[in-house]
Amino acid sequence: MDIGTVKFIRPQNKFLQKYIKGYYMHRSTDSEFNKTVYFYQNITSTINIYRDTQVSLHEGFWAYHHAPDTGFNARMVAKIKGSQAVKLQGKFDKVATVFYPMGINHFIRCPLSELVDSIYSVFTHFDGIYDAILPRLFEVATIEEKRDILDAFFMSQFQSFSDQRLLVAAQQLIASEQSIKVNDLAQSIGVSRRTLLRLFQKHLIYSVEEYQAIVKFRRALIQLQQQGKSHLTSVAYNSAYYDQADFNHQFKHRSGLTPSELYDELNIVDNTLFWNLK
């Protein structure tokens, strides 16, 4: 299936590898290109930078298409409700940075909640700072050259996230294969339930319960890809769903598809980008 040119690469800088999952380019030079890509809930965050590409919201989906001489614009995806459809129409050119959970918090100078107002939030946090690198970023041809430019940029923007309590709490949810009660999580890091809920909404833009549910969904999705749809029962059990019915219900709720249907339709790029492209 023609999905345009997609290339993914991880940071070369070892320090950044703790915070940034990788960079990818996605582009098409075909004026007749017409595909729809579906993204699914994740606890990662992504900054998408477009060149000469207009991004617009329509009823139930986003679209981007060629818009000559419009320059650069950036969008951030940090919170998806269910699945999200994006229509790719004609030529487009995108370079994206994918951050690990809480990775982006080490590069921004305000709470994440102040930067997110929609699924595809206009991202202006680096305006002015980006100006020095964006022309070169899109001029270079190889993904390795783009990586080097972005590595240098993000090293210049790094500032360690100060609230270690939240980092510990998020890591507990990611590492645990069983559900953790909100009160227990709050107690483990020495804060009240109210403070924990406030911190999650401020810096992670999810409630504790929703964050935990998405961790479970992504873990099950990875296991499903590794084991195949002939092992749905074991995937449901190992992912701590109550039963097969709960497993099916949660996948339907978060992707619009059953586990078996999602397995059949996923396109995986470099074992990292999980897309459903039609």
Q: Where are the domains of the chain?
A: 5-157, 164-259
DSSP label at 118?
A: S
Instruction: Please say whether the beta carbons of 251 and 257 come within 8 A.
Output: yes
Torsion angle of the four alpha carbons 185, 190, 191, 197, in this order, in degrees rounded to the nearest 10: -20
Domain 164-259: CATH superfamily, name plus number: Homeodomain-like (1.10.10.60)
- Strand runs (DSSP E) across the chain, as ranges? 5-9, 20-28, 34-40, 45-51, 53-58, 61-66, 72-77, 83-89, 92-99, 121-122, 267-269, 273-277
Residue 248 CB contacts under 8 Å (≥ 6 apart), including other chains: 258, 259
Tally Cβ neighbours within 10 Å of residue 206: 18
Give the chain's mean pLDDT: 91
Give exposure, 183-204, as e/b (b: 16+ Cβ within 10 Å).
Answer: eebbeebebeeeebbebbeebb
- Rounded distance between C-alpha atoms, residue 146 and residue 205, angstroms: 29
DSSP label at 100?
A: P
Going by pLDDT thresholds of 50, 70 and 90, the confidence category of residue 1 is: very low
User: Per-residue pLDDT tens for 190-227?
Assistant: 999 999 999 999 999 999 999 999 999 999 988 888 88
Strand order in the sheet with 61-66: 53-58, 61-66, 83-89, 34-40, 273-277, 267-269
Average pLDDT over residues 114-129: 90
pLDDT for 150: 98
User: Per-residue pLDDT tens for 65-121?
Assistant: 889 999 999 999 998 888 888 898 889 999 999 999 999 999 999 999 999 988 888
pTM above 0.85, yes or no: yes
Q: Is the pLDDT of residue 273 over 70?
A: no
Same fold, 5-157 and 164-259: no
Kindly tell me the sign of the dihedral angle through the C-alpha atoms of 121, 123, 124, 125: positive
Tally Cβ neighbours within 10 Å of residue 125: 18
CATH class of the domain at 5-157: mainly beta
Instruction: Please say whether the beta carbons of 115 and 99 come within 8 A.
Output: no
